[in-house]
Amino acid sequence: MTYISPKTLTFENFLSQYRDNPRYELADGELIDMEPTGPHETASGIATQVGIYLVAEQLPWFIPRTCLIYPFADTATARRPDVVVLDETALDREPLWEREPVITMGRSIKLVVEVVSTNWETGYAQKVEEYALLGIPE
């Protein structure tokens, strides 16, 4: 993971410039290049197994192709988890979902998977705290 932005970005600037680029996320206004490794990509294949389970159990949940988690309106942070499971029945209460694949409320999220590799400080500290404060159960 590399911090590459010498200037601070707002959440809105990040969306307009990097919304569709899965390599980047935003942390306190700093653009972060996620730099996924081969083993990281292999491990994130857990999404297939989770998807099979969701279909077998007939749950109203799904795994979006791309999704940002915007944990706090007062900070310029947008996380791009490796796998996220969303509750389809809760999306009608998400203020940004109709126009952007952005989640702002923990109750819309059933599971977040973060594969920790070179960014263990962020994966085990910052993201865990942000997701817990947002109320994500798993």
Per residue in 104-132, pLDDT (tens digit) is 999 999 999 887 766 666 656 788 889 99
pLDDT value of position 115: 79
Positive or negative torsion for Cα 102, 106, 107, 111: positive
- Asked whether 118 and 35 are in contact (CB, 8 A), the reply is yes
Q: Give backbone dihedrals phi and psi of 53, rounded to 5 degrees, phi first.
A: -65, -45
CA distances (Å), origin 30, targets 3, 10, 85, 90: 7, 9, 26, 30
Look at the pTM and tell me if it is higher than 0.95.
Answer: no
Residues of the chain with pLDDT under 70: 1-6, 43, 117-124
pLDDT value of position 5: 47
pLDDT value of position 127: 86
pLDDT value of position 119: 62
Residue with tokens 């159990």, as numbered in its chain: 57
